[in-house]
Amino acid sequence: MAAKPGAATPTYSPKLVGRSRLPIFKDSDLDWTRPDGRGFHQCRPALLQTGAVSSASGSAYAEFGNTKVIVSVFGPRESKKAMTYSDVGRLNCNVSYTTFASSTLGQGTDHKEYSSMLHQALEGVIIMETFPKTTVDVFALVLESGGSDLSVLISCASLALADAGIMMYDLITAVSVSCIGKSLMIDPVTEEEGCEDGSFMMTCMPSRYEITQLTITGEWTTPNINEAMQLCLDACSKLGEIMRDCLKQSTSASDE
Amino acid sequence: MGLPDSSQDLTSEMEVDAFRRIFPLRFFERHLSESLRPDARPLDKARDTIVNLGLVSTADGSALAKIGSTTMLAAIRMEVMTPSTESPDEGCIAVEFHMPPICSPIVRPGRPAEAAPVISKRLSDTILSSGMIDLKELCLVSGKAAWMGYLDIYCLDADGALFDAALLSAVAAFSNLQIPVVALNDNGRIVAISDEKEQDNASIIEEEAVNKEKRKLTLKNIPFSLTCILHKNYILADPTTEEESIMDTLVTVVLDSSDQMVSFYKSGGEALAYSSSIKSCVELARKRAKELKEILGEMDVD
């Protein structure tokens, strides 16, 4: 579960190319830095690992900075509830937090909002026709919450689905951006999320260049949205490559 | 590596797999008669065990224990509370064991696993009755303030011997626990002191600090446990989920570091525990306790 010592953890910071306008601010204009000392367009190192849970059909562990999540996929298996006949499969998602996930004392509970957001992000990418009458369960546990939890959950879930061999059109990756004042910060940590003016999260299929989910809340200007979109698309495709490498490594390791 | 050969291999493999699914008990008994288990372990051998300390940054103490593929993450958070009037100079420890839906295909969200509260209670009893922790050490101001320790254990992967792994992770988390620095302020309240603050006004705090520096608990009589399956006249140490589901008589022995018995637990099941089999279980637990002590000892060195 822990990072292998010595092996450099890859990151997926985007690069803006061919931008048609000047940046809104220059680095020298800033009188403050991010809590973990990253650049504004720099992502946290992404550690990904498949096969974290042996009893699941597929599973993945993701560690992005202090955000640590495990996702298990069970099925396709018999639908538990007595439901009407359906030609296509069903997807069931659940996200829960540990009691020690955040530093403020709280009860670890099911997170209904993230459960449904995860479902919405995944349902567009899974080929439901391949498992009619059955259910695929995607269960996630946030071990430690360090910001951008939902985007890490979505990326990790798509990796777990791939590990379980569930048919998908493509891997999906999610990246979020926070807007504070004039500046855009990619992959925000908890402190930044707490004082943001607006948040932006994009889930896309990097190889197909298609978006499955886009959430924009708070105060945004059109140029800011455009810039955030550019940043996320580039970061998503880079994260997709990291995930692909992770899957390749796990299959080559199991072949040996 | 001719083609006919490899296809023949496949059919024989298929047959073994089918036999395992259709006649699980006979499949196991065939192995047991050869004094071997399907995962190539001898009957009395526990699976490989790994302990990692301090993985959760938001907790005051944490540990990850892995026995085979059974994985447990334990974390302790400390909070200041007012002690009860019956024991004014003692702290308190609350133990909770969770089985989130990720850990096993039988757990579904909204319907907690039946095993979880049972294991939770047994863990709490074992940790408190073993005398590992002196609750008086958790006292800050007699009658006014004491530490409340919340120990939460999450099962990340369930593959048998859940109690053993949970207890190991709990013990390791306590060995990793650093009690935070707190001070008594003017209003007679306990306040937490962060590291930076401490440097700023070190002189003021020195008078008021109740708990001057981060300290560790002294652990004595550390409990170690081993679960065995009794089946006919075989004893299988450290069972996997598959073994537990097929042969259902489980015996758990908990011994402390000086080989004193802390608890003995036999759930129902078909087989009866005779004194001879109990003796062999205790003997196996003694060996296992020695192994676990070494594993934890290695951790303490770092």
**pLDDT digits over B232-263, tens only?**
888 999 999 999 888 878 999 999 888 888 88
pLDDT higher at A75 or B213: A75
**Chain B residues near residue A140 by CB distance under 8 angstroms:** 102
Average pLDDT over residues B280-302: 83
Report CB contact under 8 Å: A96, B110.
Answer: no
Q: What is the pLDDT of residues B85-97, one digit of tens each?
A: 888 888 899 999 9
What is the chain B residue with the closest CA to A141? B102
User: Which of B76, B103, B109, B68 lies closest to B92, judged by CA?
Assistant: B76
Identify which of B57, B154, B158 has the shortest CB distance to residue A98: B154
In the predicted structure, residue B197 carries a pLDDT above the cut 50: no
Is the pLDDT reported for residue B3 higher than 50? no
Using the Cβ of B156 and the Cβ atoms of chain A, whether some distance falls under 8 Å is answered with yes
Give the count of Cβ contacts less than 8 A between chain A and B: 85
**Residues 110-139, chain B: which have Cβ within 8 Å of A?**
110
Query: B157 and A53 in contact by Cβ < 8 A?
Result: yes
Q: What is the pLDDT of residue B49?
A: 94
Count the neighbouring beta carbons within 10 Å of the beta carbon of residue B131: 16
* Per-residue model confidence (pLDDT) at position B203: 41
Instruction: Indicate the residue of A54, A94, A143 with minimum beta-carbon distance to B109.
Output: A94
Instruction: Classify strands A134-144 and A90-97 as parallel, antiparallel or unpaired.
Output: parallel
Residue B209 token pair: 């600090």
What band does B67 get if pLDDT is binned at 50, 70 and 90? very high
Q: Which residues of chain A have a Cβ shorter than 8 Å from any chain B Cβ?
A: 1-2, 52-56, 59, 66, 70-72, 74, 77, 80, 94, 96, 98-103, 105, 108, 110, 137, 139-141, 143-144
Identify residue B135 by its one-letter amino acid code.
L
Query: Which residue type occupies A192?
Result: E
pLDDT for residue A18? 46
Radius of gyration of chain B (CA): 23
Residue A170's pLDDT band (boundaries 50, 70, 90)? Answer: very high
- Predicted ipTM of the assembly: 0.83
Question: Is A1–B62 a contact, with Cβ atoms under 8 angstroms apart?
Answer: no
Dist CA A179 CA A43 (whole Å) = 15
Q: Which among B55, B58, B109 has the least Cβ separation from residue A103?
A: B58
The answer to whether residue B119 scores a pLDDT higher than 90 is yes
**Residue in B217, B191, B183 with CA at minimum distance from that of residue B91:** B217
End-to-end Cα separation, chain A, in angstroms: 20
Task: Report whether pLDDT(B195) > 60.
Answer: no
Contact (Cβ atoms closer than 8 angstroms) between residue B107 and residue B100: yes
Pick from B39, B56, B102 the residue to mutate for testing the A interface (most A CBs within 10 Å).
B102
Q: Show residues of chain B in contact with A157, CB under 8 Å.
A: none
| Cα A75 to Cα A56: distance, rounded to the nearest angstrom | 8
Contacts of A105 in chain B (CB under 8 A): 77, 79
Strand partners, A93: A138
DSSP one-letter code for A209: T
Report how far residue B70's alpha carbon sits from residue B160's, in angstroms, rounded to the nearest whole number.
7
pLDDT at site A61: 94
Q: Do A154 and A163 touch, CB atoms closer than 8 A?
A: no
Inform me whether the pLDDT recorded for A239 exceeds 90.
yes
Measure the CA–CA gap between A8 and A10, rounded to whole angstroms: 6
| pLDDT: which is higher, B271 or A225 | A225
- Alpha-carbon distance of B148 to B142, in angstroms, equals 14
Selecting from A74, A100, A143 the residue whose C-beta is nearest the C-beta of B77 gives A100
In this prediction the pTM is 0.86
Q: Does residue B250 contact residue B237 with C-beta atoms inside 8 Å?
A: no
Mean pLDDT along residues B50-62? 90
Q: Which of B238, B297, B285 is nearest to B261 (CA)?
A: B285
Supply the pLDDT for residue B2: 41
Average pLDDT over residues A26-37: 65
Nearest CA in chain B to A138: B102
**pLDDT confidence of residue B219:** 84
C-alpha distance from residue B136 to each of A245, B78, B142 (Å): 53, 15, 10
Give me the mean pLDDT over the A65-82 stretch: 86
Tell me what the mean pLDDT of segment A158-185 comes to.
92
For the beta carbon of residue B269, count every other beta carbon within 10 angstroms: 15
Q: Which residues of B touch A80 (CB under 8 A)?
A: 108
Q: Do B152 and A98 touch (CB under 8 A)?
A: yes
Q: Do A108 and B98 touch (CB under 8 A)?
A: yes
Q: Count CB-CB contacts under 10 A for residue B31.
A: 16
Which 3 state secondary structure label does DSSP give A30?
Answer: coil
Cβ atoms of A93 and A183 closer than 8 Å? no
**Cα distances (angstroms) measured from residue B141 to each of B134, B146, B202, B205, B206:** 16, 7, 21, 16, 16
* pLDDT band (50, 70, 90) for residue A69: very high
What does the pLDDT average to over A49-57? 90
> Does B19 or A155 have the greater pLDDT score?
A155
Alpha helices (runs of H) in A56-189, residue ranges in sequence order:
112-123, 149-164
* SS3 state at A199: strand
Q: What sections of chain A are H helices per DSSP?
A: 112-123, 149-164, 190-194, 222-255
For the segment A111-134, the average pLDDT, to the nearest whole number, is 90
> What's the pLDDT band for B188 if we cut at 50, 70, 90?
low
* CB-based contact B158:B104 (threshold 8 Å): yes
Could you tell me the end-to-end alpha-carbon distance of chain B, in angstroms, rounded to an integer?
49
pLDDT at B302: 42
Set of chain A residues whose Cβ sits within 8 Å of the Cβ of B73: 98, 143
List CB contacts (< 8 A) between A98 and chain B. 73, 75, 98, 152, 154
Mean pLDDT of A161-189: 91
Distance from CA of B283 to the nearest CA of A (A): 30
Nearest-CB residue to A100 (from B56, B104, B110):
B56
> How far apart (Å, rounded) are the C-alpha atoms in residues B93 and B171?
13
Per-residue confidence band for B207, with pLDDT thresholds at 50, 70 and 90: very low
Q: Write the residue in B58, B101, B157 that is nearest to A139 by C-beta.
A: B101
Structure tokens at B289: 């306790």
User: What residues of chain B, 65 to 84, have a C-beta less than 8 Å from chain A?
Assistant: 69, 71, 73, 75, 77, 79
Angle at A236 between CA A234 and CA A240, to 5 degrees: 120
Contact A139 B159 (CB under 8 A): no
- CB of B243 less than 8 A from some CB of A: no
CA neighbor of A230 nearest in space, from A170, A184, A169, A181: A184
- CA-atom Rg of chain A in angstroms: 18
How confident is residue B11, by pLDDT bands cut at 50, 70 and 90? Answer: low
Residues of B in contact with A101 (CB under 8 A): 58
Q: Looking at CA atoms only, how far is residue B280 from chain A in angstroms?
A: 31
Q: What is the pLDDT of residues B151-172, one digit of tens each?
A: 999 999 999 899 999 999 999 9
pLDDT at A2: 45
Per-residue model confidence (pLDDT) at position B274: 82
Chain B positions touching A153 (Cβ under 8 A) are none
Residues of chain B with Cβ-Cβ distance to A144 below 8 Å are: 56-58
pLDDT(B130) > 70: yes
- The predicted model gives A148-164 an average pLDDT of 94
Q: Starting from the edge strand earliest in sequence, which strands make up the sheet with A173-180, in order?
A: A183-186, A173-180, A198-205, A210-218
Kindly tell me if the per-residue pLDDT of B52 is higher than 70.
Answer: yes
pLDDT given at position A243: 93
Grouping H, G, I as helix, E, B as strand and the rest as coil, residue A162 is helix
pLDDT tens per residue, range A181-231 = 888 889 999 888 888 889 999 999 998 888 989 999 998 999 889 999 999
Q: Is the pLDDT of residue A147 over 90?
A: no
Q: What is the pLDDT of residue A248?
A: 92
SS (H, E, C) chain B: CCHHHHHHHHHHHHHHHHHHHHCHHHHHHHHHHCCCCCCCCCCCCCCCEEEEECCCCCCCEEEEEEECCEEEEEEEEEEEECCCCCCCCCCEEEEEEECCHHHCCCCECCECCCHHHHHHHHHHHHHHHCCCCCHHHHEEECCCEEEEEEEEEEEEECCCCHHHHHHHHHHHHHHHCCECCEEECCCCCEEECCHHHHHHCHHHHHHHEEECCCECCCCCCCCEEEEEEEECCEEEECCCHHHHHHCCCEEEEEECCCCCEEEEEECCCCCCCCHHHHHHHHHHHHHHHHHHHHHHHHHHHC
Under the banding of pLDDT at 50, 70 and 90, the label for residue B187 is low
Task: Check whether B204 has a pLDDT greater than 70.
Answer: no
Nearest CA in chain A to B98: A98
Amino acid at B14: M
The burial class, CB within 10 Å (0-12 / 13-18 / 19+), for A21 is: exposed
Determine, for residues A53 and B100 on separate chains, whether the beta-carbon distance falls below 8 Å: no
Please give the average per-residue pLDDT across A67-93, as a whole number. Answer: 85
Laid out side by side, the sheet with B224-231 consists of: B234-237, B224-231, B250-255, B261-266
Examine the pLDDT at A158 and tell me if it is beyond 70. yes
Give, to the nearest 10 degrees, the angle between helix B162-176 and helix B115-129.
50
